[in-house]
A and B are shown apart, each in its own frame.
Chain A
């Protein structure tokens, strides 16, 4: 069955520290991969997406993610976290071909940032 796992429910980091949020997926084919961020009271905002090609993807707000096919992972990273990054982060996968973007989401990782 298709699924997305985000192993960390909550993560707390200090401002200025580096960040890595984990995402593992189970999918029958090469998926499209997405990271979304959800701030309190806000809708989901796309941070970055992987389609094909270079496995290191750059996104907005200084985030990047690396697709590792051998590990079925698409971890999100940021070298230096800002207090405004505190939010909930969702990893999602979508179909590679045919049909439409019926996204499958992970349960999310809530990030807290200490000053």
Chain B
């Protein structure tokens, strides 16, 4: 079956512009996660969606970052007034139920590489 897909695969933008990144989770997965991966670093948790519950936004680095998810489908991560330090690979993952523990494996998309000039 189809995995997690993300678009665009690459995005180059100028400092100060807004960008929107898209994630299509695996069908039927109720949980969706966004991570950021800076060059040479591990993944950094940004935000988590579970069903119709309020999202956990505790990882968002500033109020320039926001994310939405329509039901249990597509999610968009929006970065306003981009800065050079926003340059990174943004990874999306989904899992069946979002429950703590390895029984509910996260499946990752290929990521969107964002470059802010």
Interface residues in chain A, defined as those with a beta carbon under 8 Å from any beta carbon in chain B: 4, 6, 9, 32, 34, 36, 41-46, 49-51, 90, 92, 94-108
Are the CB atoms of B102 and A100 closer together than 8 Å?
no
Instruction: Point out the residue from B42, B45, B99 that lies within 8 Å of A106, measured CB to CB.
Output: B42
The answer to whether A44 and B31 touch (CB under 8 A), given A98-B100, A100-B48, is no
Complex formed: what's the CA distance from A105 to B95 in Å? Answer: 17
How many whole Å from A113's CB to the nearest CB in chain B? 20
Total contacts A-B at CB 8 Å: 82
Among A41, A44, A107, which residue has the most Cβ atoms of chain B within 10 A?
A: A44
Q: Can you list 27 A-B pairs, Cβ within 8 angstroms, ordered by A?
A: A9-B40, A32-B100, A32-B101, A41-B110, A42-B110, A43-B3, A43-B91, A43-B107, A43-B109, A44-B91, A44-B93, A45-B108, A49-B105, A50-B102, A51-B103, A90-B43, A94-B100, A94-B101, A95-B101, A99-B100, A100-B56, A102-B56, A103-B45, A103-B106, A104-B45, A105-B43, A108-B40
Instruction: Return chain B residues, CB-CB under 8 Å to A107.
Output: 40-42
Tell me whether B68 is interfacial, beta carbon within 8 Å: no
Q: What size tier do the contact residues of chain B reach?
A: 20 to 34
Are the CB atoms of A97 and B100 closer together than 8 Å?
yes
How many whole Å from B97's CB to the nearest CB in chain A? 9
Tell me whether B25 is interfacial, beta carbon within 8 Å: no
Are the CB atoms of B42 and A105 closer together than 8 Å?
yes
Q: Which A residue's beta carbon lies closest to that of B59? A: A102
The answer to whether A101 and B109 touch (CB under 8 A), given A90-B43, A107-B42, A108-B42, is no
